[in-house]
Amino acid sequence: MRKLQNTLYITTQGSYLHKERETLVVEQERKKVAQLPVHSIGHIFCFGNVLVSPFLLGFCGENNVNLAFFTENGRFLGRLQGRQSDNVLLRRTQYRVSEQNPVPIARNIIAAKIQASKRVLQRQIRNYGENAAIQSAVDALNILLRQVKGAAELDVVRGIEGDAAARYFCVFGQLLSEKSGFSFDGRNRRPPRDGVNALLSFVYSILGKDISGALQGVGLDPQVGFLHADRPGRDSLAQDILEEFRAWWIDRLVLSLVNRKQIQISDFVTEASGAVQLKDDSRKHLFQALQAKKNKKNHTPLLTRRNRNWFVAAYSGITVGTSLTWRSCAISTFLDAIMLVLITYDISFSDTAGAKRLRQIAAHCQDYGVRVQYSVFECDVNPEQWVRLKDKLLQTYQPETDSLRFYMLGSKGRNKIEHHGAKAALDIFRDALII
């Protein structure tokens, strides 16, 4: 199974990002504060005054790393677009379906959104008892869900979506705990005028750029959607897919943070214009919660490997080949499979080149992993990356005097690790990377 790459959040003002071999280095006040292998990073989000070297920009483009820039308050500014996938046939099909027959896909998107919104409201009733206003909203969403299935025009689908969103947010404030101190009087943005709206808008923006980078990585055009109208500068397809994640993923996350008092009223500042913004320290707590949410596994039989192609075909209306597709899927799944390899080494200093070999071997390991002890590295790599790394190590060491040991711990090796004492090792795929 392909492992989800991590997201690096740069929030410290004045940070400088640059490339060193196959790694990304973060410096603050001319001091190195982090060095991470690029293969573990899928997205880099820079907030405010963050400098990025031209070589790192090119490196991110070559490795399909989504590099996006935001203001300190989370307003999106722009992102780096790397090499376009060579799957031109997929994009042609996307353009054709978007222009000729977008309604079936738009219906599915809105049906999924309404269903998710309804589940969020029903969860409130299930946990806290009957509520007439929330139940009325659920009944209205059920009616709209039946209407969207028969919608034959795109404008009708959009109208149903707007009505559903209005009914959902009309009772959203009742999902907030009274002890939290927060209130919600309806959705507002540009700028948000209360803490809940500020959280919603901020996470919507972050996840939208996550989706844009993922779409581009698989060869789709993020700007050509099926529900949202084409507009210069807007990633319409990313916004389409975001609709399905809003209620059950983002809204539930915001509700949990607020109701559990992980984020409080004091974590926000109100500007002279009336805009409400999240403080820097509290923003880091939000990023940690986001990373934990991403790492949470949601099991569904619909998205198993056997049903994946059927799902794509049914959802998008794009015909998928059988034998060739399955073979390609199997090959790509194998190449994307991440395994944990523990590398230890002992380099002799009996000759003058020993110190140089030591530095080279450590640098090779750092390109793909994290140092956990002085001569011990944990590397999360796929089979292709492991072949390259092993070859570099075997070419560098001196077999007559040096030793290398490789411990192949497999895809579930992380679950078998115990750490005691200081200097806990960083899990570059699961830990929140906030600098």
Residue spans of the domains in the chain: they are 6-80, 94-296, 337-421
At 104-124, the pLDDT tens digits run 898 999 999 999 899 989 888
The answer to whether the beta carbons of residues 235 and 159 sit under 8 Å apart is no
Of 74-88, 254-268, 325-339, 399-413, give the lowest mean pLDDT range.
Answer: 325-339
Pick the CATH number of 6-80 from 3.30.1300.10, 3.100.10.20, 3.40.50.1360, 1.10.540.10: 3.100.10.20
The residue with greater pLDDT, 303 or 197, is 197
At 239-248, the pLDDT tens digits run 899 998 888 8
The answer to whether the beta carbons of residues 11 and 434 sit under 8 Å apart is yes
Pick the CATH number of 337-421 from 3.30.70.240, 3.40.50.300, 3.20.20.100, 3.65.10.10: 3.30.70.240
Residue 320: pLDDT over 50: no
Residue 54: pLDDT over 50: yes
Q: What is the DSSP letter of 248?
A: I
User: What one-letter code names the amino acid at 378?
Assistant: E
Per-residue burial over 135-147, b = 16 or more CB atoms within 10 Å of its CB, e = otherwise? eebbebbeebbeb
pLDDT of 181: 80
Residue 134's alpha-carbon distances to 167, 220, 254, 352, in angstroms, are 9, 38, 18, 76
The residue with greater pLDDT, 335 or 157, is 157
pLDDT of 84: 66
Q: What is the DSSP letter of 117?
A: H
pLDDT of 309: 45
Characterize the bridge pairing of strands 76-80 and 66-70: antiparallel
User: What one-letter code names the amino acid at 145?
Assistant: L
The residues, any chain, with a CB within 8 Å of residue 373's CB and separated by 6 or more, are none
The H or E element that residue 47 is part of is strand 41-47
What phi and psi, each to the nearest 5 degrees, are found at residue 45?
Answer: -110, 120
Residue keyed to tokens 């998107």: 109
Query: Mean of the pLDDT values across residues 219-248?
Result: 86
Distance CA 239, CA 242 (A): 5
pLDDT-derived band at 271 (thresholds 50, 70, 90) equals confident
**Fold for the domain defined by 94-296:** Four Helix Bundle (Hemerythrin (Met), subunit A) (1.20.120)
Distance CA 363, CA 357 (A): 10
Q: Of the spans 284-288, 318-322, 398-402, 410-414, which averages the highest pLDDT?
A: 398-402
Distance CA 251, CA 141 (A): 17
Residue 23's alpha-carbon distances to 17, 59, 308, 402, in angstroms, are 11, 10, 33, 25
pLDDT-derived band at 429 (thresholds 50, 70, 90) equals low
Of 67-71, 216-220, 259-263, 382-386, give the lowest mean pLDDT range.
Answer: 216-220
* Three-state SS at 256: helix
Distance CA 428, CA 426 (A): 6
The residue with greater pLDDT, 92 or 433, is 92
Distance CA 142, CA 380 (A): 46
pLDDT of 344: 92
Distance CA 379, CA 375 (A): 13
Q: What is the pTM of this model?
A: 0.70
Per-residue burial over 262-290, b = 16 or more CB atoms within 10 Å of its CB, e = otherwise? ebeeebbeeeeeebbbbeeebbbbbbbbb
Q: Which two tokens stand for residue 61?
A: 């483009």
The CA R_g of the chain, rounded to the nearest whole Å, is 24
| CA–CA–CA angle 288, 18, 381 (5° rounding) | 60
